[in-house]
Amino acid sequence: MDVLKPLRTFLLFALILLGLSRLGLVAWQWQRVTDAGMLQNVLVQGLRFDLVMCGLLFAIPVLTFPLAGMGRVGWSFWRGMLGWYLPLGFALLVFMELSTPSFITQYDVRPNALFFKYLIYPKEVLSTLWKAYPMQLVLGFAAAPISLFFMRGRLRWSLEMARKPGFFTALLATPVLLVICVMMVRSTLDHRPVNPSVVALSNDPMVNELSLNSSYTLFYAAYERLRESGDGFPYSRMPAEEVVARIRTEMKLPAGSFRNEAIPTLHKQIATAHADHPMNLVIVLEESLGAEFVGSLGGLPLTPHLDGLAEQGLWFERLYATGTRSIRGIEAVVTGFTPAAKESVVKLSKSQRDFFTLASLLKTQGYSTSFIYGGEGHFDNMRRFFMGNGFDSVIDQNDYENPVFLGSWGVSDEDLLQRAHEEFEAAEGPFFSLVFSSTNHSPYEYPDGRIELYEPDPNTVNNAVKYADHALGEFFEKARKSSYWENTIFLVVADHNSRVYGASLVPIERFHIPGLILGGSVSPGRHSAIASQIDLGPTLLSLMGLSAEHPMVGRDLTRPEIAADPGRALMQYYTSMAYLENDKVLVLQRDLSPRQFIYRDSDYGEESEPDEDMVSKALGYANWSDLAYENLWYRLPDPKSLLVAP
């Protein structure tokens, strides 16, 4: 159809423009690109995301295409709109690419949410840019109108020669064009469309972003900010000083532990255990494994292997997840960050680099760090978050050759844990790995013939849990005979429950999950007090014999005074948050006053007048999350100052 020639012309020139810009940036940053081994990925993935951007820009012409067949007025409007819309889009691409070098020089990333601040403070920003980058500023503002009229000139002939389509032709062609447009934007037949996490293949975030284009990064930043502002809300404001003081108190550390006001919770943790050499750390994050599926926690007899392992390590009897999604569990276990009404930091824009994780800390100790997953690494932005925050590598579904089983959510837990075992056996030097299972997820698919079914229908959550336990048992049987067993601390913990529901304000019993720390140097024991996922990070470091500075607000549960404490847990549930302590629970709800209840035997009891101290603690934690995120308080200081002598 000659009527579509303007779109083809635009696509050609846009791809040439973005490709040349990327080549120029690669030449400029050649050393970093080659050091990261990313040249091929930058160029190949770059073309992919340039098509994504063009697909986004084509959405309006495609959706309005039926107008082209609606008589002379509709045809005139659509053609006139195209004559200005496409040149304006091209001018945007040119302006953003010309803005990129100075932005990278200043911030070491492509234009992102910070770019919007240029619009909020135009006088100050333009003055700064004029002094620092006068030539780039002149070039950018001059090139935009020039490129606009250049593209108008390229499109004029094709628009004049285009013939008006018939109404039914335009109507029938629109769904086809829309499918093409959607496929350009999705850029994959996988479950989820591409996003910046797809290109997070190196530890250099700037090099990763060369695979994108600056118009896309700006659009994606706007999308992220809209999502953040829509999800987050304060239950009730507390002064920042009061929040920091409350959080520090709840960490139950010795006086004088906090000495860095720029990172309010940065403190010295002295390990309770001693290690003659660095201990490896492996976290096996089990998908959707609630306490009701675990025999040792009073649940169904579906986890005989985990129940047996519980007798061999430190078993948590009252451990609670911080939320209801995997990224919330990752947030708590890997970073120790507290839950908030906002989305998990795994997906938020400000936490995609220089945000604290166990990996970022252990890398300073010479550890190799990895994330091993059976599904798609870019799901929920995981790859991007991990690669920007201390992880050396991500192994996902595409890295398995001839897996035993491939289901909707990726390879089976057998494949996952076998690959993990092989990676650990081949490791040189200390390592940290997060291994994330996926079998126990609807539609509950796994290889046949591995377990005796708990119920006739194989594809049920109970049978999936039993299979996941079978795979876990096989892994630990191999690990015990391995070269790394005696030198490794293992944590097996659920990310959240399979389904969190109930008539309660916050169904606390559905947040109860299993947790077990074991390994060559861990003595068997039981922690019967209330514990939260945010306590696991500090506890692991202590059992590893690693004394270091970090900002985690959780408690080291191996300290005698903490082990004797009744404990507390935080649970985020949609627009509510529960703070559980002793036999009391305080619930914060959006736009409502706090409510406090007795909580015994996994059930809410009598409601009582909220205790002022309980309210202060709950609001302190709720406000801390937002403050720490917005003010960039959750990070490490200069790496040279990390270690603390034991």
| Positive/negative CA dihedral, 208, 212, 218, 223 | negative
pLDDT at position 126, please?
62
Instruction: Check whether residue 99 and residue 29 sit in a common domain.
Output: yes
Task: Give per-residue pLDDT as tens, 258-309.
Answer: 989 999 999 999 999 999 999 999 999 999 999 999 999 999 999 999 999 9
pLDDT at position 133, please?
65
- φ/ψ region of 336 (left if φ > 0, alpha if ψ in -120 to 50, else beta) reads left
In a domain, 431, yes or no: no
What is the domain extent for residue 626? 232-279+321-364+484-508+562-646
pLDDT band at 41 (very low <50, low <70, confident <90, very high): very high
Residue 503 has pLDDT above 90, yes or no: no
Query: Where is pLDDT greater, at 104 or 625?
Result: 625
Give the Cα-Cα-Cα angle 287, 289, 293 (nearest 5 degrees). 150
Average pLDDT, the chain: 90
Phi, then psi, of 439 in degrees rounded to 5: -60, -40
Helix or strand run (H / E) with residue 619: helix 612-630
Q: How many CB atoms lie within 10 A of CB 331?
A: 32
Alpha helix (H) residue ranges in 190-331: 205-209, 214-231, 240-250, 304-310, 326-330
CA distance 478 to 622: 42
Instruction: Check whether residue 68 and residue 196 sit in a common domain.
Output: yes
β-strand pairing of 584-589 with 576-581: antiparallel
Of 202, 229, 256, the last residue of a domain is 229
Phi, then psi, of 292 in degrees rounded to 5: -70, -10
pLDDT at position 228, please?
61
Using only C-alpha atoms, the chain has a radius of gyration, in whole angstroms, of 27
Instruction: Check whether residue 213 and residue 108 sit in a common domain.
Output: yes
Task: Give per-residue pLDDT as tens, 182-191.
Answer: 999 999 988 7
Instruction: Check whether residue 7 and residue 121 sit in a common domain.
Output: yes
| Crossing angle of helices 71-107 and 214-231, rounded to 10° | 90
Mean pLDDT, range 160-185, rounded to an integer: 90
Domain tally, the chain: 2
- φ/ψ region of 402 (left if φ > 0, alpha if ψ in -120 to 50, else beta) reads left
Q: Are 100 and 107 in contact (CB under 8 A)?
A: no
Residue 435 has pLDDT above 80, yes or no: yes
β-strand pairing of 595-600 with 584-589: antiparallel
Could you give the 3-state DSSP secondary structure of residue 392? Answer: coil
What DSSP string runs through 108-139? SSSS-TTHHHHHHSHHHHHHHHHHH-HHHHHH
Instruction: Check whether residue 142 and residue 237 sit in a common domain.
Output: no
Q: Are 580 and 588 in contact (CB under 8 A)?
A: no
Instruction: Check whether residue 132 and residue 261 sit in a common domain.
Output: no
Instruction: Check whether residue 110 and residue 255 sit in a common domain.
Output: no
pLDDT band at 157 (very low <50, low <70, confident <90, very high): confident
Residue 640 has pLDDT above 50, yes or no: no
Instruction: Check whether residue 176 and residue 139 sit in a common domain.
Output: yes
Of 229, 251, 268, the last residue of a domain is 229
Could you give the 3-state DSSP secondary structure of residue 493? Answer: strand
Reported as half-sphere exposure (CB side, CA atoms, 13 A), residue 106 has a value of 15
Q: Are 486 and 518 in contact (CB under 8 A)?
A: no
| Crossing angle of helices 5-28 and 71-107, rounded to 10° | 0
CATH number, domain of 328, equals 3.30.1120.80
pLDDT at position 413, please?
97
In a domain, 302, yes or no: no
- Percent of the chain exceeding pLDDT 90 equals 71
Flag the least confident range among 30-34, 70-74, 285-289, 385-389.
70-74
Could you give the 3-state DSSP secondary structure of residue 57? Answer: helix
pLDDT at position 92, please?
94
pLDDT at position 645, please?
36
> Could you tell me where the beta strands, DSSP code E, fall in 453-535?
488-494, 512-519, 525-532
Query: Where is pLDDT greater, at 433 or 190?
Result: 433
In a domain, 438, yes or no: no
pLDDT at position 170, please?
87
Tell me the CA distances in angstroms from 375 to 197, 478, 554, one per residue in order: 14, 23, 29
DSSP-assigned letter for residue 509: G
pLDDT band at 646 (very low <50, low <70, confident <90, very high): very low
In a domain, 421, yes or no: no
Tell me the CA distances in angstroms from 244 to 496, 534, 616, 629, 635, one per residue in order: 28, 17, 12, 13, 15
Of 229, 249, 265, the last residue of a domain is 229
Task: Give per-residue pLDDT as tens, 570-583.
Answer: 999 877 899 999 99
CA distance 448 to 471: 13
Mean pLDDT, range 455-470, rounded to an integer: 96
pLDDT at position 267, please?
96
In a domain, 568, yes or no: yes
Residue 458 has pLDDT above 90, yes or no: yes
Mean pLDDT, range 467-487, rounded to an integer: 97
pLDDT at position 253, please?
94
Alpha helix (H) residue ranges in 440-559: 461-480, 536-543
Give the Cα-Cα-Cα angle 173, 176, 180 (nearest 5 degrees). 135
In one-letter notation, the amino acid at residue 139 is: L
pLDDT band at 226 (very low <50, low <70, confident <90, very high): confident
In a domain, 26, yes or no: yes
Q: Are 197 and 378 in contact (CB under 8 A)?
A: yes
Query: Where is pLDDT greater, at 591 or 618?
Result: 618
In a domain, 30, yes or no: yes
In a domain, 91, yes or no: yes
pLDDT at position 72, please?
86
How far from chain centre, in Å, is Cα 462? 28
| pTM of this prediction exceeds 0.75 | yes
pLDDT at position 128, please?
56
pLDDT at position 197, please?
83
Give the Cα-Cα-Cα angle 568, 490, 411 (nearest 5 degrees). 105
pLDDT at position 164, please?
84
pLDDT at position 567, please?
95
pLDDT at position 531, please?
98
Which residues fall within 8 angstroms of residue 175, CB to CB, at 6 or more apart? none
Token representation of residue 605: 């009891």
Reported as half-sphere exposure (CB side, CA atoms, 13 A), residue 567 has a value of 26
pLDDT at position 642, please?
42
Instruction: Check whether residue 138 and residue 262 sit in a common domain.
Output: no
Task: Give per-residue pLDDT as tens, 314-338.
Answer: 999 999 999 999 999 999 999 999 9
Could you give the 3-state DSSP secondary structure of residue 226? Answer: helix
Instruction: Check whether residue 41 and residue 113 sit in a common domain.
Output: yes
Give the Cα-Cα-Cα angle 479, 299, 564 (nearest 5 degrees). 75
Locate tokens 């496409």: which residue?
Answer: 86
Preceding omega of 443 cis (within 30 degrees of 0): yes
pLDDT band at 118 (very low <50, low <70, confident <90, very high): low
Instruction: Check whether residue 181 and residue 329 sit in a common domain.
Output: no
Instruction: Check whether residue 197 and residue 154 sit in a common domain.
Output: yes
Helix or strand run (H / E) with residue 280: strand 280-286
